[in-house]
Structure 1
Amino acid sequence: MSQALKVWKALENKPAGKWTFSKMLCLKAPYFSSISPLFEQLEPGRCMIKMKKHRAVLNHLGTVHAIAMCNMAELAGGTMTDATVPSTHRWIPKGMSVEYLKKAKTDLTAIATSAQTNVVWTDSGEYLVHVEISDQAQDIVFRAVITMQVSKK
Structure 2
Amino acid sequence: MSQALKIWNTLANKPAGKWTFSKMLCLKAPYFSSISPLFERLEPEYCEIRMKKHRAVLNHLGTVHAIAMCNMAELAGGTMTDVTVPATHRWIPKGMQVEYLKKANTDLVAVATPLQVNFPWNAGSDYLVQVEVKDTSQDVVFRAIITMWVSAKK
CA deviations on 1:4-27 (whole Å, 9 max, x unpaired) are: 000000000000000000000000
TM-score (ref. length: structure 1): 0.99
Amino acid in structure 2 at the alignment position of 1:61: L
Partner deviation per Cα, 1:72-130 (whole Å, 9 max, x = no partner): 00000000000100011110000000000000000000000010122111111100000
RMSD: 0.4
Percent identity of the aligned residues? 78
Q: Show the counterpart of 2:88.
A: 88
Q: Which residue of 2 aligns with 1:42?
A: 42
Q: Does 1:143 align with 2:143?
A: yes
5+ long unaligned stretches in structure 1 = none
How many equivalent residue pairs?
153
Quote the Cα distance in structure 2 between the aligned partners of 1:6 and 1:124: 25
Which structure 2 segments of 5+ residues have no match?
Answer: none
2:34 and 2:114 map into 1 onto residues whose CA distance is 25
Partners of 2:117 and 2:90 lie apart in 1 by: 19
Separation in 1, partners of 2:47, 2:11? 15
Matches within 5 A, 1:123-134: 123-134=123-134
Q: Secondary structure of 1:23's match?
A: helix
SS of corresponding position for 2:117: coil
Distance in structure 1 (CA, Å) of the matches to 2:119 and 2:83 = 14
Report the Cα distance in structure 2 between the residues aligned to 1:91 and 1:118, rounded to whole angstroms. 17
Q: Which runs of 4+ in 1 moved over 2 A?
A: none
Residue number in structure 2 paired with 1:14: 14
